[in-house]
Amino acid sequence: QVCAQLCRRPCYCPWVPPRCPRGSPLVLDGCGCCKICARRLGEPCDFLHVCDQSQGLVCDYSSASAGTGAICNFEDDEEGCEVNGRVYRDGEVFQPSCKIQCQCLDGGFNCIPLCQEDVRLPTPDCPYPRRVEIPGKCCPEWICEAQDQHLLRDARTVSPLRRFPCQEWGTEWSACSATCGVGFATRVSNQNRYCRLETQRRLCMVRPCPALPAAFPA
């Protein structure tokens, strides 16, 4: 009965197909007549205005009983995860920021850092390495600081003459920042040549991350 009321024959479609927003493909309407823009997640839908089935979306009429109308939603048998107000499909890989990459798994998500947490030790050609934020770049980088700049900065906080030996102090290493794969642990300690408190980091790995599905190559 719905088809008889809404789907008229022959089909009358506009000559120029509609221009769809990014991420919304052209599909046939519910009558199988004209090309329309597929509705995306959370957008209203009905018999004619179909959802994007390539993204696993169906027209959810459960909210229609409350008077709000049907919307495009994932099928009930698929789990997703919500991050910063956006819903991702199970298995979908996304980047909340340029520094980490995450994957939605079974209603939760696992993340791995994209910035290398390497530690650069002093060398003869770079006696004072320092990690700094570079404008326009996501990940901090190591630079070689000049000796006079290094001594000038330390002179503001450390007396050049120390009459008493330094009493070592430090906190315990924190838990690893990643539940799988390479992360980093931090602590506060004064175990350095200037006996000053500083935040120290070291690499850690609780367990290897599971391999990504074939649909999401590394």
**pLDDT tens across the length of the chain (218 residues):** 455 567 878 888 888 889 998 888 999 999 999 999 999 988 899 989 999 988 888 888 876 665 668 888 877 655 677 777 677 877 888 888 888 888 887 767 788 888 877 777 788 888 888 888 888 888 888 888 776 555 555 555 544 444 446 777 888 888 888 888 888 888 888 877 777 778 888 888 777 787 665 555 55
Contact 189, 170 (CB under 8 A): yes
Tell me how far CA of residue 119 lies from CA of 153, 164, 200, in angstroms.
21, 31, 10
Within the chain, which residue ranges are assigned CATH 2.10.70? Answer: 81-113
Pick the CATH number of 170-209 from 3.30.9.10, 1.10.3720.10, 1.50.10.10, 2.20.100.10: 2.20.100.10
Strands (E) located in the chain: 26-28, 35-37, 57-60, 71-74, 80-83, 86-89, 93-97, 100-105, 108-113, 129-132, 141-144, 182-189, 198-205
Pick the CATH number of 1-76 from 3.40.50, 2.120.10, 3.90.70, 4.10.40: 4.10.40
- What pLDDT shows up at residue 1? 46
Domain 81-113 has CATH 2.10.70: yes
